Structure 1
Amino acid sequence: MCACSYVVLIPLCNICKILIGFGLCNCFFSINCTHNLNNMKKLYLFNFFFLFLLGNVLAQNQQDYSNNSTLAQRVKALAAKYPQLVKSKSLTQTIGGRDILMLTIGTGKTEQKPAVVVVGGVEGKHLLGVEMAIGFAEKLMASSTVDSIKTLLDKQTFYVFPNMSPDATEQYFAKAKNERSGNATKTDDDRDGNINEDDSDDLDGNGKITWMRIADPTGKYKLNTDDPRSLLMADATKGEIGKYILLPEGIDNDKDGEFNEDGDGGVAFNKNSSYNFKPFVAGAGEYAVSEKENRALFDWLFDAFNVYAVVTFGPTNNLSTPVTFNAPGVAKRIITSWFEADAKANALVSERYNKITKTKDAPKTQSESGDFSQWGYFHYGRLSFSTPGWWVPKVAPDSARKEKKFNNEDAVASYLRWATGQGITNTFTPWKAVAHPDFPGQTVEVGGLDPFVLINPPYKMVDGIVAKHTDFIIGLAGMAPQLDLINVKTEKVADGLTRVTLKVMNTGDLPTYTKIGDRSYFLKKIVVNVKSNANQTFVSGRKTQTLESIQGKEFKELTWLIKGTGKVTIEAGSPTTGSKSIEVSL
C-alpha cells in the first residue's frame, strides 16, 4: 500500500479500487477519485485514461503465458477500450466452471458481414494457440485507426474464441505442472469402475511432471547416442536391445499394472468433434459433442452463416503444407478428402501463409480423431485452416561446441540442441534416482524434458509469432469472396422489350462457399433479385434466382428479357460475400 497520508482520508470509488488491485499507486488515483470530480466530462476523461492505462499495464506486466484470470482481463480490457469495435461475452462455462470467452470484432451489424472465425486453445497443452488468438485481437485493435484496417473492419467481421480448453490449460499454472488435454469432466479412462484414481505423481518434488526411466532388460528403450539425455525406441531389426522402460512420472496408484492411465483431465475438446469421432478412446468422451464447450461453439457456428473461413491455432497444420486432392476420398459415401476446388483454395492460402510468416521446416502432422479443424471443413463446410504457429527449428551442428550431425531423428535431442544455441535453460530436468515402490530393487530415475516446452516456445518469442500470424489473418481477409456486377449491357429489341445481360463476378481469391458446402445443403447460396415496378414484365429470366458457388476471380453470366420502360435494380448477395446492387435503365 502507498504510504501517502491522505489516502485513507479520501473515499475510493470502484475504479480506484480496481486500479489498486493492479498494483498502481493509491495516492495518484485517490486524489482523482470520482468522489472528487465535479462533472461528467471529467469522469469520462478519467475513465478513458483508466482503460488506456489498464491495457498497457496488462501488456507490459505479462511475462508468461496467460492463465484464465489474465485472459479474462485481456478480453475485458479490449472490450472496454474499443467499445465501438469489440463485443465480448461468455459462450458457456465448462464443467470446471471456467468461461469460454468470445470476442466479436467489427463495426455496425457484424452478423451481416462476411466473417473469419479464429479459435485458440483447441489442444489443452498448446498454450501458444491461446496467445495467438487473443494476441491477434489485440494487435488488430492496436491498428484499428490505420485506414486499411478501418476499411477491413467496416467490411468484415472477426469472431475470436481465445481458449476452448480452459480447464486443461490451467494445468500449466498448477502446483505440479502437468500436460493435460481434457477438461474437468470426470471419466473412467481405464474402465475399471473407478474415476480419476491413478493420476500423475511428482516423485522428485520439483513441481513438474516429467518422466521415469527404469533400468530393465525387458525395456524397449535405449539411450540416444546423439544425446544420452533422451531415449529412443530400440530397433530390433537392427539388432538393437532395449535397456529401459520409459513411463510418465508417477505411481501405479490403483495397482493395475498401468501408470497414470486414469487421472484428472476428462474429455479433450480436440477429440470430441463429430467428424471422425472415435468412441472408447481416452479423452474422446462418451459420444461426439458431449461437452458443453463443444456443443456451445458448434451451435453458435451453425447459426453464423456469414463465416467463410475458420482459422485454428492447434496441432494440425494444413497451412505450411496444403492438403492434397484425393479422388477416392471424395467418392466415398462419407467423404474423407477435400474437393479439388477447395484443395486449390487451400494451396492458394498456404502460399500466402508461407510468404507472410516466413516459417519453414514444418513437421508433418496427423490429425487426431475428432479434430476440430477437420470438423470445420467436413461438417461445418467452410474453408478450414490450421497451424500450430511454432515448432522446434532445425539447427545445424555448432562446430564451436564440437557438435556433430545427429544420426537419429529425435524431437527431444533436437529441442535440446536448439535450446542450447538460444541460451534457453531450465527446460530439462536432469535424471535423478528415486526410490519407487512399484520397482523395488531396480534403478528408477526421474527427469527428462519438462512439460509444455516441445510445443510452446519461450514466452519472449510469442509476440513475434503473434505479429506474423496477425498479418496472415489480415492477408486471408484480403482474399475473401466479394461480389461485383460487371459488363452490364442493355439491348433494345422488338415490341418494347429490353435484353439485360450482366456478369456476377467473384472478385476475391476464395470461393463464395466450398464445394463440400454444396453437399451439405446448409450453406447459403448467392441470391440474385431484380426489383421492378408494376409496368414491367419478365418475358424470360427469373426475378429471383440462386447461384451455386463461384470460384475466385470467376463469374456467372445472367440474362433477362424485360418488357416495359423505366429502371430496374439488380442485387446479388450472400452472407459470405456481402451484397452488390446496380440500377439499370430499360
Structure 2
Amino acid sequence: MKRCLLSSFIALLIGGSLHAQGDYSDGRRLAQRINALAKSHPQYVKTRSLVKTLGGADIWLITIGTGQTEQKPAIAVVGGVEGKHLLGVELAIGFAEKLLASAQTDSIRRLLDEQTFYVFPNMSPDATEQYFAAVQYERNGNARQTDDDRDGKIAEDGYDDLDGDGKITFIRVEDATGTHILNPDEPRSLIPADLAKGQVGRFLVFPEGIDNDKDGTFNEDGEEGVHFNKNATYNYRNFLPGAGEHAVSEAENRAMFDFLYDAFNVYAVVAFGPYNNLSSPEQAGRGDGAGPPQQGRRPGGRKITSWSSQDAKANAFVSEQYRKITGTTDAPKATAGEGNFAEWAYYHYGRFSFSTPGWWVPRVKADSASRGRNLDNASNGSNDPVAAYLKWAESEGISNTFAEWKPIEHPDFPGKRVEVGGIHPFVLNNPPHTLVDDIASKHTAFVVALAGMAPKLDVVDLKTEKLDNNLTRISLKVLNSGLLPSLTQVGERSYFLKQITVNVKTTGSQNVVSGRKIQTLGAVAGGQAVELSWLVQGSGKLSIEAGSVSTGKKTVEVTL
C-alpha cells in the first residue's frame, strides 16, 4: 500500500512545472515566487522573514501544512547552502511550488494534513546575487567585511575583470616554474603537471585579477564575507577564510539554528548543497557512535565522528530510493568541509541529514565525433572537471560558457606571455536553466517519497486480562510503522530531542500498581515494536497516549 502511495506521489509531482522564467532567481524574483505561494495557497502556506542579512536580504522561511504545523512530523528543506550553487535555491523553492500545485489531489492533501514542511529557499542570498552583478564571479560569502589575509586591511585585493567581459575566469602565465600543463585531450583546459608521469609544468594559473596589495597572492581578500556553509558548530575551524570569527557568528546562521532547535517535530533535513550523501551514503565507523549508546555514559562524553550503524543503514535505503527516483548516476565524490551545514544537521542537531547538489556534469562516452581528441574517462572524470564539462556541453550544443584564451599585458608579469580565459563562473555547479524544471520535479518527488518513509507511531495488540483483587493486566505494543527510526542514534544520546512518551492516564481511584505510569522510549527502528504492560487496580475507563511531535501520537481507550 505504501509503495503504491509513493508511486502516485511521484507520478503527480513529475507532471508539475515551475513558473516560466529564463534564468535563475535573484532576490526580487524569489520574493515574488514566495509571495505568490502565500497568496494562492493561504490554507497551506505561511511565510516570514527570519532575519535580514548584513546585505539587507531576507532569510525566508516557508511553512507548509495545515492546522498546528508545529505539532506534526516535519522535514526541513534547505537551499542556498553555498552561494555559488544557484540550483539549490531553485530546488528548494521549486519543491514548494510543485508540492502545492498538487495540493488538491487526495494523496498530497492527506500528506499536508499529516506532516509539515519547513522550506528555507536561500541561506546565502548576499552571495547568490553575485551571479546577477555587473561582474560575475563565484561567491559564497555574505556582505560582512572581513580581513581574510589578516593584514589589517579590508577588501584590498579582490577580483579584477581584465578583459572586460563581466566574468571572472582565469589567467595563465607561461613560466619555467609553472605547475600546470595543457590537458593533452582538451587543450583549452589546464591540469596539474604530474612528475610521476614525466610531466613538467609550463603555466602558472591564477583567478583573473591583479595582486593589488603586492603580497604574492591573487584575489585573496575581496568583497566576500562569511560563508553560511562554514559557520556551523560541527567541525568548525577558526581562521579559515569565510569561516567567521567564531561559529554561528552570522545572523542568518543564528536565526535558522534558533528556529530549528525549537522545531522538535523535525525528523529529517534535506539540504541542496555541494555535499552528497544521497548518491554515496554515509558509512558507519568503528566506535565513535557506531553502535548504540553505552548505559551510564554521559551524553557528549565522546565526540561522535561517524554515523551509527543503524543510521547508516537508513541512509543506504534512502540513497537507493533517491537514485531510483532521480535517475542520477556517476556522482563525483564529495567531501564535507569544516563547519558545514549538512554534518551539523546530523551530528549537532541530531536529525537524519540528507544532502545532494542535485546535478553534476553528466559523463559522456568518447566517440569519433569528438574533434579527434581522445576524451576518455581519464579526462572526463574528477581529475579535470573542465574537460568533462566542455565535452558534455559540446554534445548538448551548449555554447558561450567558455572564454577563449587571449593574450593581455599584465602588470605583475612584465615581459611574460599572459593570457586570460577559461571556463565561465557557475557553469560547473549549475546546469543550463532549461534543465532546472525537470531536475526540480524529480527532487520534489524524492522529498515526498522521503516523507512517506517517516517514522509513524501506532499502538497495536492491545490486550486486557482481569485478575483478582480488582486488578487488570494491560499489554500493548508501540509500533513504528514507518521506515525510518523514530530517532537517530546520535539524537538518542541527546537529552534535547523528544523521545516517544507513553502516558497511562488514569481516572478516579484507579492506581497503576506495576509498570511506569509515564515512560519514554529510545529509538524504535522502522517496522519494529516495543511491548509494554501494566497492572492497574480499579474500574472504569482509562486512556493510554503514546507518541512524540516527530512521530505523531496515538491514544487508545481501555475499559477495566
> Which interval holds the TM-score relative to the shorter structure?
over 0.9
Q: 1:59 aligns with which of 15, 19, 28?
A: 19
Q: For 1:533, what is the secondary structure of its paired residue? A: coil
Task: Name 1:4's counterpart in structure 2.
Answer: none
Task: Name 1:360's counterpart in structure 2.
Answer: 329
Judge conservation of contact 1:481–1:552 (CA < 8 Å) in 2: yes
Task: Name 2:447's counterpart in structure 1.
Answer: 473
Give the alignment of 1:509-524 within 5 angstroms: 509-524=483-498
Greater shift in the superposed pair: 303-312 or 536-545: 536-545
Q: 1:504 aligns with which of 478, 482, 486?
A: 478
Q: How far has the Cα of 1:497 moved from its partner?
A: 1.3
Matched, 1:300 2:259: yes
Matched, 1:265 2:235: no
Matched, 1:203 2:177: no
Q: How far has the Cα of 1:547 moved from its partner?
A: 1.2
Matched, 1:404 2:363: no
Q: 1:416 aligns with which of 381, 385, 390?
A: 390
State the alpha-carbon separation in 1 of the partners of residues 454 and 144 from structure 2: 39
How many residues align? The count is: 530
Q: How far has the Cα of 1:430 moved from its partner?
A: 0.2
Task: Name 2:11's counterpart in structure 1.
Answer: none
Task: Name 2:236's counterpart in structure 1.
Answer: 277
For 1:139, give the aligned amino acid: K
Q: 1:68 aligns with which of 27, 45, 56?
A: 27
For 2:368, give the aligned amino acid: S
Matched, 1:378 2:338: no
Give the alignment of 1:29-428 within 5 angstroms: 59-60=19-20, 62-330=21-289, 333-401=302-370, 402-406=372-376, 407-408=378-379, 409-428=383-402
State the alpha-carbon separation in 2 of the partners of residues 405 and 172 from structure 1: 30
For 1:251, give the aligned amino acid: I
Q: For 1:504, what is the secondary structure of its paired residue? A: strand
Judge conservation of contact 2:75–2:267 (CA < 8 Å) in 1: yes
Deviations 1:253-302 (A, max 9, x none): 11111110000111000000000001111111111000010011111110
State the alpha-carbon separation in 1 of the partners of residues 17 and 387 from structure 2: 38
The sequence identity of aligned pairs, in percent, is 62
For 2:458, give the aligned amino acid: D
Q: How far has the Cα of 1:140 moved from its partner?
A: 0.3
For 1:99, give the aligned amino acid: D
For 2:331, give the aligned amino acid: A
More helix by share: 1
State the alpha-carbon separation in 1 of the partners of residues 490 and 333 from structure 2: 25
Q: TM-score normalised to the size of structure 2?
A: 0.93
For 1:225, give the aligned amino acid: P
Judge conservation of contact 2:65–2:116 (CA < 8 Å) in 1: yes
For 1:313, give the aligned amino acid: F
Q: For 1:311, what is the secondary structure of its paired residue? A: strand
State the alpha-carbon separation in 1 of the partners of residues 511 and 369 from structure 2: 85
Q: For 1:328, what is the secondary structure of its paired residue? A: coil
Q: How far has the Cα of 1:57 moved from its partner?
A: 13
For 2:148, give the aligned amino acid: D
State the alpha-carbon separation in 1 of the partners of residues 124 and 513 from structure 2: 58
Matched, 1:525 2:494: no
Q: For 2:419, what is the secondary structure of its paired residue? A: strand
Q: For 2:171, what is the secondary structure of its paired residue? A: strand
State the alpha-carbon separation in 2 of the partners of residues 488 and 379 from structure 1: 37
For 1:532, give the aligned amino acid: T
Deviations 1:529-574 (A, max 9, x none): 1122113221111222111111111111110111222221111010
Judge conservation of contact 1:58–1:74 (CA < 8 Å) in 2: no
Deviations 1:131-154 (A, max 9, x none): 000000000000001110000000
Larger radius of gyration: 1
Q: How far has the Cα of 1:405 moved from its partner?
A: 4.0
For 1:345, give the aligned amino acid: A
Q: How far has the Cα of 1:451 moved from its partner?
A: 0.2
Judge conservation of contact 1:196–1:262 (CA < 8 Å) in 2: yes
State the alpha-carbon separation in 2 of the partners of residues 339 and 328 from structure 1: 9
Task: Name 1:23's counterpart in structure 2.
Answer: none
Deviations 1:290-316 (A, max 9, x none): 001001111111000000000000000
Judge conservation of contact 2:289–2:490 (CA < 8 Å) in 1: no
Judge conservation of contact 2:186–2:375 (CA < 8 Å) in 1: no
For 1:354, give the aligned amino acid: R
Q: TM-score normalised to the size of structure 1?
A: 0.89
Judge conservation of contact 2:185–2:373 (CA < 8 Å) in 1: no
Deviations 1:159-201 (A, max 9, x none): 0000000000000001011101100000000010000000000
Unpaired runs of at least 5, structure 1: 1-55
For 1:404, give the aligned amino acid: N
State the alpha-carbon separation in 1 of the partners of residues 369 and 153 from structure 2: 55
Matched, 1:432 2:406: yes
Judge conservation of contact 1:220–1:244 (CA < 8 Å) in 2: yes
Judge conservation of contact 1:479–1:508 (CA < 8 Å) in 2: yes
Task: Name 1:446's counterpart in structure 2.
Answer: 420
State the alpha-carbon separation in 2 of the partners of residues 537 and 301 from structure 1: 39
Judge conservation of contact 2:310–2:489 (CA < 8 Å) in 1: yes
For 2:374, give the aligned amino acid: K
Task: Name 1:29's counterpart in structure 2.
Answer: none
Q: How far has the Cα of 1:213 moved from its partner?
A: 0.4
State the alpha-carbon separation in 1 of the partners of residues 39 and 230 from structure 2: 34
Q: For 2:19, what is the secondary structure of its paired residue? A: helix
Give 4+ residue runs of structure 1 displaced > 3 Å after superposition: 400-403
State the alpha-carbon separation in 2 of the partners of residues 412 and 57 from structure 1: 31
For 2:556, give the aligned amino acid: I
Task: Name 1:28's counterpart in structure 2.
Answer: none
For 1:393, give the aligned amino acid: P
State the alpha-carbon separation in 2 of the partners of residues 329 and 535 from structure 1: 49
For 1:338, give the aligned amino acid: W
- Closer/same/farther in 2, CA of residues 271 and 253 from structure 1, 3 Å limit: same
